[in-house]
Structure 1
């Protein structure tokens, strides 16, 4: 039953924020109290104006509670507050109070947006500046305010470092999610502008959210399929004692990109990549051409249980991670999953598959992709 208009209105008037984690609340409020205490102490020593306490508290709340918001970044805090001081005085020169108060807030927003330094407490600063401007020079308000803000920003940086958070904003070059999405920072910024979210979210955090949502969607979409359902089985594998010519023949005969090495009981020991084969074949040392699989392999093959939902594996194979993953039943490797398997799954997976279909339709579809040698890679 579709909700009525009244219920939609009432719903819209309710809380919009999800419940935060208790640890985050305690961490933020403790840092906020410490930051304000530090800033007020610094301001007292410099002879600050008491009326600056209100906008300072609002700025500190943004810095400590929403440190990832563009509104809370040092540039926004300092520049946004500074231009707001002058907005108040300019408004007072143009019109008398109380009109100057309204004009000051509007002018402050225009100046902050123009400087790409939107900071909500700037509205309070502009209003305060218009009221106090009757008796004070703008520099009398600006100098102590900058001292207070610099102190609270420094406290915010220190607190973020101590608690494992990021302040100032994350740099997109340091976030792996940006590379995963294949989008440039400028393209992420354009999306934020397009959806009018530039004041609420940074490009790096947008990338992290989209990447996390993609992973969650994959887990949900393929929740009925396990790694055992999509693996290539039996796995093409070598024994530890096989020598280079035999290994070359396996690569050539099966068009594979990775060759697992297993013992006589099917337990995985490692994996051989084509690079190891090429290095041995082109080496000036003739002894390398007689190396065995045990000498050439890397003992770092990734392993997953056969009953693991395949959605949990998509992220690892999509990144620059393993080319091949061994699927285990107990200590024995019963199959492998490669990027080819994942591509086949994505191409042939139907949204309307049901859990009851897993034993028949998904297996049949995936077997179509295994008919070629490359599907075994």
Structure 2
């Protein structure tokens, strides 16, 4: 018997207590404000009601599962309203010829079919359709007006609350789909990290074979698989951190370093980038050869030597629009990594996002070294070689 009950229980949620509290507080605030605003808006219009019970179910999705395809704005608004319209249509056109159980089933089944067609599947929509059937004579008499006023107003207000609350508490809503295969070089090639792993068509084939609605977007599912592969790789080869492979004796610059001096340092040490530090040795930017080329107007390679000399030469005046120091051309707020970051976490940044240099900082965010693509390739080669030798 215990095994039977255990099979009925879902797996424990992976959300921590803080996330659970965030969702609960969001629903509390969202429903409270939706009720107050809906009452103020609809009482003066003689609406049959200003709040419908299925909105409570919508709040679970909006605040506890804001990344779900079932919780996106069109899913909520379209799903609730279209389901309500289907329910009203069933009551108006079939109510006199069908017994209540069959009418209720027709309303819910028709609502699900309509939501599939309109791409706004939203579970509380079934409850909205059922409400129009069993909501009493007042709801049935109001009919389409009930849906287009009360249900629509409640849905829009709750979505607005979810947009505000989720974004204020660190949850992107509406959820932005991320394409893990987007190439930063704007070519048709997939990004390097997925060329040897599973391919998009593999996932599409499995999902088609699975043939069920999933409460997660395809892109999010693919991203989770990719992160799982990275974790498995890390466990397989052991944890190699940035501290193990980074260059420590690194040439750097300050905001006020003159361009000619910075360029000379890069040439002398044969490096393609200079981390830009403040006096506390915190990274405030990075100046690369690309920055020099772009700001120096060197996209046109004719007479490039003369243009570069002109760009590096000081203007000799106190006020000029010409860039004079590194801080004026650097890329501010560069991506950094902690000294204890596993190097597998740098692979997507360098292989997919196109970063060539990652400044490394310690626990106090002070600069301690840099990892280049060459460092990363060498480390991955060594780990692979060590595995083969073992």
TM-score normalised by the chain length of structure 2 = 0.61
Name the CA shift for 1:40/1:221 in 2 (closer, same or farther; >3 Å): same
SS at match of 1:53: coil
Partner of 1:36: 31
Match of 1:23 among 18, 25, 35: 18
Match of 1:139 among 134, 137, 144: 144
Partner of 1:106: 109
Tell which deviates more after alignment, 146-155 or 41-50.
41-50
Partner of 1:320: 354
SS at match of 2:150: helix
Deviation at 1:9, TM superposition (A): 6.6
Check whether the contact 1:271–1:299 (CA below 8 A) recurs between aligned residues: yes
Name the CA shift for 1:304/1:106 in 2 (closer, same or farther; >3 Å): closer
Q: Residues 18-74 of structure 1, C-alpha deviation per residue, up to 9 Å, x if partnerless?
A: 242222222221221222122223333415545953212111222122122121122
Deviation at 1:323, TM superposition (A): 3.1
Mapping for residues 1-377 of structure 1, pairs under 5 Å: 12-45=7-40, 46=42, 47-49=46-48, 53-92=52-91, 93-94=93-94, 95-97=97-99, 98-132=101-135, 135-142=140-147, 143-170=149-176, 172=178, 182=191, 191=204, 194=208, 200-202=215-217, 205-206=220-221, 209-210=224-225, 212-213=227-228, 215-227=230-242, 251=270, 281-283=305-307, 285=309, 309-318=342-351, 319-323=353-357, 337-346=371-380, 349-350=383-384, 353=387
Deviation at 1:16, TM superposition (A): 1.8
SS at match of 2:32: helix
Check whether the contact 2:180–2:219 (CA below 8 A) recurs between aligned residues: no
Q: How many pairs are equivalent?
A: 325
Which segments of 5 or more consecutive residues in structure 1 lack a partner in the other structure?
A: 1-5, 261-269, 290-294, 363-377
SS at match of 1:36: helix
Q: Residues 270-309 of structure 1, C-alpha deviation per residue, up to 9 Å, x if partnerless?
A: 99855589879544648959xxxxx999899999898864
Check whether the contact 1:32–1:60 (CA below 8 A) recurs between aligned residues: yes
The separation in 2 between residues aligned to 1:162 and 1:303, in whole angstroms, is 25
SS at match of 1:136: helix
Deviation at 1:346, TM superposition (A): 4.2
The separation in 2 between residues aligned to 1:162 and 1:302, in whole angstroms, is 23
Name the CA shift for 1:8/1:346 in 2 (closer, same or farther; >3 Å): farther
Check whether the contact 1:71–1:199 (CA below 8 A) recurs between aligned residues: no
Deviation at 1:199, TM superposition (A): 5.0
Name the CA shift for 1:315/1:58 in 2 (closer, same or farther; >3 Å): same
The separation in 1 between residues aligned to 2:135 and 2:336, in whole angstroms, is 68
Deviation at 1:85, TM superposition (A): 1.8
Name the CA shift for 1:351/1:74 in 2 (closer, same or farther; >3 Å): farther
Deviation at 1:96, TM superposition (A): 0.8
CA-based RMSD: 5.1
Tell which deviates more after alignment, 45-54 or 240-249.
240-249
Check whether the contact 2:262–2:326 (CA below 8 A) recurs between aligned residues: no
Check whether the contact 1:228–1:327 (CA below 8 A) recurs between aligned residues: no
The separation in 1 between residues aligned to 2:368 and 2:164, in whole angstroms, is 51
Q: Residues 223-258 of structure 1, C-alpha deviation per residue, up to 9 Å, x if partnerless?
A: 2445576578x98989x999989976875xxxx756
Check whether the contact 1:73–1:169 (CA below 8 A) recurs between aligned residues: yes
Check whether the contact 1:258–1:324 (CA below 8 A) recurs between aligned residues: no
The separation in 2 between residues aligned to 1:284 and 1:60, in whole angstroms, is 60
Check whether the contact 1:237–1:259 (CA below 8 A) recurs between aligned residues: yes
Which segments of 5 or more consecutive residues in structure 2 lack a partner in the other structure?
A: 185-189, 195-199, 276-284, 297-303, 314-324
The separation in 2 between residues aligned to 1:141 and 1:299, in whole angstroms, is 55
Name the CA shift for 1:338/1:44 in 2 (closer, same or farther; >3 Å): closer
SS at match of 1:43: helix
Deviation at 1:78, TM superposition (A): 1.5
